[in-house]
Amino acid sequence: MCCCGSADDGCDADTGNPGPDITRRCTDVCCVLVLLVFFAWPVCAILCLKDVDGAYSLTHGHDHYGHFCGRDSLEDKAFAFFPDLENDFKEDPTLLKRYGVCVEKCPKQFEVITDYAGTGGTPLKRPQDLSWYVSLPTFPVAGRCIPYDPPANFSASVEFCADPQCHAAEKPSHPQEVCGLAKDGTNRFWLISKADDILADGWRREGLSDEAIRQRAEIAESAAQEPCKVKVLRDTRVRTEYADASITYSILTKYTGYMFTWSATVYENRSIVLGLGLGGSLVLSLVIITGFAYCVGCVLNVLITCLFLVLICVDYVLFLQAGLVTGRSGRLILDSFGKAIQVEVPDELTSLLEASADTEELRMIYKWCAIGLAIGIFLLACAALAARKNFQILVELLKEASNTMREMPSLLLTPFILACSMMAVSLMMLWVALSISTLQAMDVPEILEAWKGHVAPALVQLGFTDDPLRQLRQIALVFNLFVFLFSYYFHVALCISITAMCVSHWYFYRDDRDRNAGTGINSDGWFFGRPVLLAFQRICRHHIGSLVFGSCIMSVATLLRLAMEYVAAKTKDAQDGNPVVRALVCTCRCCLWCLEKCLQFITEYAYVYVAVTGKPFCSAARSSFVFFAKYPLQTALDKMASTVLGYLLCVTVPGGLAVAAFLCGLKTAWPVCAVVIFGLAYVTTRLAAGIYDVCVTTLFVCAMRDCEHYGGRYMSKSLKNACGFAELARASLSPGAMGIELQDAS
């Protein structure tokens, strides 16, 4: 096995290692200790802080005596209810001194709860009457009962038609003769829905007999089929609120009511929301991605053509504004296009074809911009023609990636499982961060004493003279942030490496009867998820240390950026008064951003190389850099194409599913459910597009490795033809192979 940082691509050819299994050894084993430390951090923090008051207050409230609900004598009363919240808002808008009562469960509307005697804190507000009336319903959040303004608990709605008008008759025989009530002005409209009890009672008060009311109701039931131009809705609702509630309290209950109502709406339609947002987007993304194998060439040609058309149109407008063309041809084309599609051309678009530059200086600016853009279009066209071979390879790689996902649909499981894992880790890290932020000296006396005795003196020598507890909090929060960043990048590394392991194993061993286990639906012993499980096993067994190494590098780079942003925020006043300081800060921010993006790009390819070749991280990163130098144009094209196709997926799939939800009969629930469906579908599609991107990258690495070391024996026929691999293989073995580029192949 090649040593870290010293391996060469020729090392793999010597061992005859085409794919992920042969001569595989453990890499970067020492980094596994770092993983254990980072995994132990949240577990130890939770075990140490779970019983301290600051951490306990995150999930439980306290009563007006200051006693926590669900603890000690109040163990059977785990929820805190605030019976006098409207007056608490008046006395203290921050609610730091809110009056709480511990209850067994959050009370329902119109129930009565009983206060109790105790010691400490705030005494009883009403010693003579311990009962509190619950005027609004509540729902539990973090051990607190939050009140909300509910939807109307009684609602009666009736539909009328305003146009055509109602023609009143004592003995109506047609729906248009069944009018409303004179008292509320609906006698101008005729009824087109079922008459409710309120309307019937109104007719009775106006002198109609029960028989006449019954006849009117029967006629109105057949009015739904009658033509109506303008509808009128009259409804009656009953709701409860405090007569003297403060504005702040009313706003709180209003918006919590919205939250509860929207959540209830989504929950009631959860089958449609989850079915379209998760299942529908997953299936549709897989169908579109696998369909790329048949139309990706056409899609890329259309996108490139649209790009050139847009650039040419912009250049034409610039020439027009410079006074070098009249714009007659452009207006003629625009009018012809509008007539062809039978759509009126917007005035804003037509105004672009009218010269607006009124000074010679402005016309000169337009002129040189037009000339520069024309030269750029010409050079871009030349580059596109020169790179036609690269485009052919790109198309074949995209087709192979689609075939790979069709053979191994379980690849889409990886990001979802890891996303759920990351959500759980994020909640843990958030809990730890909040617990540390609320930490008091009495909560961790032993840790604080050890800090004062061993760490604080060293910090004082470095010039940090803050309170030891404050120092402990800050350093713990920074370390917690670093662990969170590491967890995120580690999940990303797992996703990339597992996908790359599956794809590379499929590429090299799909036709090998002895080693094709987990290569697709046609392999022996296949079951759904087997490729992912085998890849996960190989990664954990051999290369978990390499993933930790890369994750640490990315975490450090991101933490440096965050530190720079913190410095920039703290020095904002100095930047406003000194342009040199502002320029220096902007330069540092730009450099750190570029560093992070470069490391991210190299690290992603390094994970692919780790999965394909089994190299340590440093050696894989070096091979990645050499790979970029050998195939810069193809690398850029692959990344650009994957990004563009990913954005197309992320726009079309969520938008289409949100529209499809409208056709599922959601009616008034559609806006809220559509937003949730769009969000779920976007996340799902984004994850699927990310897997497709990794598939393209891995296939590119495997194909070039196959060309250079194994004579293209593992390539599909179409990919061989696109690469012109015979000449490329000979050139790659020549002394000048390090400078070879794919468009030179024929």
Give 310-364 as a DSSP string. HHHHHHHHHHHHTTSS-SHHHHHHHHHHHHHHT-PPPHHHHHTTS----SHHHHH
Per-residue model confidence as pLDDT tens digits over 104-121: 999 988 889 999 988 888
What is the mean pLDDT of the segment spanning 140-144?
A: 89
Looking at per-residue confidence, does 434 or 152 come out higher?
A: 434
> Where is mean pLDDT largest: 238-242, 703-707, 714-718?
703-707
Residue 380 has pLDDT above 80, yes or no: yes
- pLDDT score, position 666: 74
pLDDT value, residue 9? 47
The span from the CA of 527 to the CA of 518, in Å, is 8
Distance CA 402, CA 522 (A): 16
Across the chain, mean pLDDT equals 82
Look at residue 733 in the predicted model and tell me its pLDDT: 46
pTM score, whole prediction = 0.78
* Length of the chain in terms of residues written: 746
654 close to 251: Cβ distance less than 8 angstroms: no
Name the band, by pLDDT with cuts 50, 70 and 90, for residue 238: low
Give the pLDDT confidence score for residue 606 in this predicted structure. 94
> Are 707 and 732 spatial neighbours (Cβ–Cβ below 8 Å)?
yes
Residue 13 has a pLDDT of 46
Helices (H), 387-467: 388-407, 413-437, 445-450, 456-461
Q: Which residue has the tokens 């194993």?
A: 505
Question: Strand 101-103 vs strand 144-147: parallel, antiparallel, or unpaired?
Answer: unpaired
Percent of the chain with pLDDT over 90: 18
**Is the per-residue pLDDT at 23 higher than 70?**
no
What is the DSSP-derived secondary structure letter of residue 41?
H
pLDDT of residue 20: 57
Is the separation of the CB atoms in 53 and 41 below 8 Å? Answer: no
pLDDT > 70: percent of the chain: 89
Single out the residue of 447, 442, 473, 432 nearest to residue 53, CA to CA.
442
Residue 79 predicted with pLDDT over 90: yes
What are the tens digits of pLDDT across the range 429-447? 998 998 888 888 777 788 8
| φ and ψ of 272, to 5 deg | -70, -45
Pair 313, 352: CB distance under 8 Å: no
Helix axis angle, 468-509 to 670-710, nearest 10°: 60
Describe the strand order of the beta sheet including 190-191 as a list of residue ranges.
190-191, 154-163, 230-238
> Per-residue DSSP letters for 584-627?
HHHHHHHHHHHHHHHHHHHHHHHHHHHHHH---HHHHHHHHHHH
Model pLDDT, residue 247: 67
The answer for 5, left when phi > 0, alpha when psi is -120 to 50, beta otherwise, is left
Evaluate whether 519 touches 20 at the Cβ level (below 8 Å). Answer: no
Give the integer Cα–Cα distance in Å for 724 and 526.
34
pLDDT digits (tens, 9 = 90+) for 391-422: 888 888 888 888 888 888 888 888 999 999 99
pLDDT > 50? residue 741: no
Per-residue pLDDT tens over the stretch 322-363: 778 777 777 777 777 777 776 776 666 666 667 666 677 888
Residue pLDDT, tens place only, 263-282? 888 888 888 888 888 888 88
Tell me the residue type at 646: G
The reported pLDDT for the residue numbered 600 is 93
Measure the CA angle with vertex 330, ends 324 and 335; round to 5°. 155
Considering only the C-alpha atoms of the chain, give the largest distance between any 2 of them, rounded to a whole number of Å.
107
Q: What value does the mean pLDDT take over residues 595-613?
A: 92
Nearest Cα residue to 352 out of 323, 314, 324: 314
Question: Would you state the pLDDT for residue 735?
Answer: 46
pLDDT over 60 (residue 469): yes
pLDDT of residue 480: 93
Secondary structure in 3-state letters for 509-575: HCCCCCCCCCCCCCCCCCCCCHHHHHHHHHHHHHHHHHHHHHHHHHHHHHHHHHHHHHHHHHCHHHH
pLDDT at residue 152 in the model: 65
Please name the residue ranges forming H helices in 438-467.
Answer: 445-450, 456-461
Q: CB within 8 A of 471, min separation 6: which ones?
A: 451, 455, 456, 459, 464
pLDDT of residue 191: 85
Which residues are bridge partners to 157 per DSSP?
235
636, HSE (Cβ side, Cα atoms, 13 Å): 8
Digit-coded pLDDT (tens) for 542-587? 899 999 999 999 999 999 999 999 988 888 888 888 888 889 999 9
Distance (Å, whole) CA 389 – CA 375: 23
Q: Which residue has the higher pLDDT, 235 or 509?
A: 509
CB neighbour list of residue 251: distance below 8 Å, 6 or more residues apart = none
Alpha-carbon distance of 541 to 538, in angstroms, equals: 5
Of the two residues 6 and 664, the one the predictor is more confident about is 664
